[in-house]
Amino acid sequence: MRRVWKWLFAVLILIVVGAFALFFLLFRPVAQPKTNDLAEVFNHGSIGNEEAQGIPYWIWRGLPQLFPEHLPANADGYRAFGLYWRAGDEVPVGLSVKTLGVIERVAPNCAFCHQGSYRLHADEPARLVDAGAGTRVNPQAYIRFLIDVGADPRFTAGRVMAEIDKIYDMPLWERALYRFVLIPATRAALQEQGRRFAWMKDRPDWGPGRIDPFNPVKFQNLQLADDGTIGNSDMMPLWSLADVAATNTRRFSLHWDGLQTDLYETVVSGAIGDGMTYKSYGGTEGELRRITDFIRLQGPPPSPFSPARSAGDPYHVDAAAVDAGHAIYAAQCAVCHDAKGARYRTPISIVELGTDRHRLDMWTPAARDRYVAYEPGYAWGFANFQKTDGYVATGLRGLWLRGPYLHNGSVPTLRALLLPPAERPKQFYRGYDLVDADNGGFRSLPDTPGAKFGTFYDTNQPGNGNGGHLWGTDLPPEAKEQLLSYLKTL
């Protein structure tokens, strides 16, 4: 009997030592280097999702070279997904690198969707816009790329290690860890991702600049049944959100349908949706609060449209027209879109708006209730989720960088938004970054370079409807031009 106890004790010791070694090698979080640059924290800071979403760095680096056929057309590595990759950065904007144990892992953060880029002239390089509307980013294409890689029988340890050997002289201990543990585990995780996102096959594509933000949360995190809803909507810019702080008399709504009224809860719930857990929250809370500080303070770049430009400049706007347009805006738009307006960031009934309601119907009372009670046994303190019956009118700063327009990005330009719905373009192209100096927004119509470099958008698809929002559509032609001149300058 004593011998049995000795064996059991030895097995127990081995289990404890093995668990400790596993934690030390693969899961012990190592803090990222400290920085006082809040933009850097926003663009590359960890949101605590590396354990759930993180891909070992050297595997991630090699995937575009190993599987170029799974990249979108006109592929250029990870830039093919519309991500902005600054020279000298380890990864593109919107991805973090954090070490767990002894292995660096790459995972998406808030900036993956909330980044922007643009060009004023076709022959100049794109400029990064921190916390922008993500008009070129295609998160669905990135998800599909990883799913396709995981399902590809050529994703073997031999091929991956051969690719890594081209760029990194890996030490023996790390080589063994990658070959026998990390590559098989990554392949299995990507295959599981394919099963978790199978519901996407039954819905219209998101396309660049858009995402179905809460159906993944509903089906995976909240474990609600697939209800067939379509939440496809534009990714919002995260600019100047200090003005959504609650006052003694008002709370301001966030997200297109106003499902939240607290900025920090929005940041935390977003991180949960991307893989953060209560176990990683403690080590991530400080970074999430710094990200929140950044989006409170960060504003859009100044508009290039100005009366100060010479008359022949494509970004010149007439001063008298801008003044007249400002008066029209104050009379017809400010009550909803100005930060001091009575209806600012208040859900406006879908009956009054008349826009496509798919995004509104995606967020259900059951989803609200389930998220409030998320993760039994752990109190997140969520107190500001709600179900509404309309969409929120946001501020219009940086409007020149936010095309296409409406919550689902179904109207390509500001000029088109001032047309009756029946006269708005039915089909256009999204995802090109050259500003449309004539019409406001980006070049997007069939007879522009947007057709060559963008992605086709069809308003006849479910969730893509371009109706509603009739304000300004009945103005005389001269008044429309004046309002357009003013809106370009915001």
CA dihedral 217, 218, 224, 226 (to 10 degrees): -110
Report pLDDT for 57: 97
Helices and strands of the chain, counted as H and E runs: 19, 12
CB-CB contact of 54 with 27 (8 Å): no
Q: Which two tokens stand for residue 172?
A: 């023996």
Where b means 16+ CB within 10 Å and e means fewer, 463-472 reads bbbbbbbebb
Residue 254 DSSP symbol: B
Report which of 96, 132, 97, 94 is spatially closest to residue 110, judged by C-alpha positions.
94
* Rounded Cα distance, 211 and 203, in Å: 12
Residue 275 DSSP symbol: T
Alpha-carbon 475 to chain mean position? 35
Report which of 107, 359, 110 is spatially closest to residue 214, judged by C-alpha positions.
359
CB-CB contact of 41 with 131 (8 Å): no
Alpha helices, H only, 23-156: 38-44, 50-53, 57-66, 139-151
Three-state DSSP at 417 gives helix
* Rounded Cα distance, 177 and 102, in Å: 10
Give the β-pairing of 233-234 and 210-211: antiparallel
Q: Which two tokens stand for residue 347?
A: 């859900």
Other Cβ atoms less than 10 A from the Cβ of 409: the count is: 27
* Rounded Cα distance, 77 and 448, in Å: 26
Q: What is the pLDDT along the chain (490 residues), one digit of tens a residue?
A: 677 777 777 778 777 777 777 777 777 888 888 899 999 999 999 999 998 889 999 999 999 999 999 998 756 799 999 999 999 999 999 999 999 988 999 999 999 999 999 999 999 999 999 999 999 999 999 999 999 999 999 999 999 999 999 999 999 999 999 999 999 999 999 999 999 999 999 999 999 999 998 999 899 888 899 999 999 999 999 999 998 888 888 899 999 999 999 999 999 999 998 889 888 898 899 999 999 999 999 999 999 999 999 999 999 999 999 999 999 999 999 999 999 999 999 999 999 999 999 999 999 999 999 888 887 778 888 999 999 999 999 999 999 999 999 999 999 999 999 999 999 999 999 999 999 999 999 999 888 888 888 899 999 999 999 999 999 999 999 999 999 999 999 9
Report pLDDT for 95: 96
CB-CB contact of 222 with 371 (8 Å): yes
Backbone φ and ψ for 120, nearest 5 degrees, come out as -85, -25
Q: Which two tokens stand for residue 274?
A: 């991307």
Other Cβ atoms less than 10 A from the Cβ of 249: the count is: 5
CA angle, residues 152, 155, 158, in degrees to nearest 5: 155
Please provide the size of the chain in residues: 490
Residues forming a β-bridge with 435: 442
Alpha helices, H only, 155-297: 157-165, 172-177, 183-196, 215-216, 263-273, 278-297
Considering Cα of 256, then 360, then 147, then 270, what sign does the dihedral take?
positive
Report which of 237, 285, 240, 235 is spatially closest to residue 265, judged by C-alpha positions.
285
